[in-house]
Homo-oligomer: A and B are copies of this chain.
Amino acid sequence: MRRPQPTLKDIAAELNLSHPTVSRALSGHPSISAETKARVREAADRLGYVVNSGARMLKRGHGNVVGLLLPDITNEFYAAVAKKLSDDCSERHQQLILSVSADDADRELAQVRALLESRPTAIVVALTRKPHPETIALLNTVHCVQFMQTHPVLSGPRVTVEASGGARLAIEHLLSLGHRQIGFVGPTLDYAIGQARMEGVTAAMEAAGLAVDPTCVRLGPADGEFAFDAVLDLLAMEPRPTALYFSSAPISVAGMRALMRENIAIPADMSVVVAGVSPWYEAWPGGLTSITLPVRDLADAASRYVAEVAKGDVAAGETMLSFELVRRGSTAVNP
């Protein structure tokens, strides 16, 4: 093992052919006799021949690779996107290179640079909140699909969600159930998406003729751990909110942990709207009412743009989808 992989020349030598003939035989070129093709195929399999993608790329002028740059593969939402992209790539016989930015602009730049080394046919990127200008400049040199977050100076197709819509949906739902004092726990405003959600909350409240009570709003970093203390804090208020909206998946986990530790009955003592796509929302006793992204549709849209680029078309356009409210058992009428 670990001896250098055989090359076309090795196969050619084995069969007393020239390496271009072997190349043509393996790629099914019409002007090669069926018998030669068979002999070549056999020898290739026997020697364990696998084409060298570097050499092929050099010749072709571009790689056969799709880049995917995400903030966090551990997030079930992004994992679902990676799965879809991986499936579609392997159908097109392409490779998927996965990079994780961890929501860090420096690392994002390094990853983009590294991705470009493979001359990808396309890059799908969920940008960080404040990308370096150089990151954008580099991305503008390739076919790039912007996912979730967009950047004004970056060209190419975009797949986004109507960002303030999820928050509005959640708040409207809770208002319609008669809740007036609603706690909101979400990501800090320097995330583009955090800002939009806050706007959604404000819009929904104002539409009902109500003002947002700033003491009911708790914001924190993306990992969501702050939500545990934030919820304990909200529970200690006098009077305490009758409903909560957790606006990201990690925040939802940490928030629910706090509610459970305090033995809050749901929805009797507290109505809760969570966010994200976990299969556990349906398994939860009574179910958890959730704001979910149309994961599948978003992933499909991104993948479709990638496929267009791979076919050689110029992909362009913007796909904007909407959040959905899935009503389950964690929200009830305010008594």
Contacts and interface: CB of A to CB of B under 8 A. Distances in A.
A266 to B, nearest CB: 8
A53 B56 CA distance: 12
A305 to B, nearest CB: 14
Contacts of A57: 52-54
A90 B114 CA distance: 9
Given A98-B98, A285-B260, A4 B55 contact: no
A290 interface: no
B1 A155 contact: yes
A116 interface: yes
Interface in A31-64: 45, 48, 50-58, 61, 63
Interface in A79-94: 79-80, 82-83, 86-87, 90, 93
A309 to B, nearest CB: 10
Interface residues of A, number: 71
20 contacts: A1-B155, A48-B138, A51-B117, A52-B57, A53-B57, A53-B63, A53-B117, A58-B58, A73-B83, A73-B86, A74-B80, A86-B99, A87-B102, A90-B107, A90-B114, A95-B97, A95-B99, A95-B115, A256-B280, A278-B280
Contact of A79 (B54, B74, B107, B113): B74
A79 B167 CA distance: 28
A279 B253 contact: yes
Interface in A247-273: 250, 253-254, 256-257, 260
Contacts of A73: 73, 79, 82-83, 86
B118 A53 contact: yes
A140 B48 CA distance: 10
Contacts of A53: 54, 57, 63, 117-119
A141 B48 contact: yes
Contact of A90 (B100, B118, B141): B100
A90 B111 contact: yes
Contacts of A254: 283
A97 B100 contact: no
Given A96-B98, A141-B5, A260 B284 contact: yes
Nearest to A63: B54
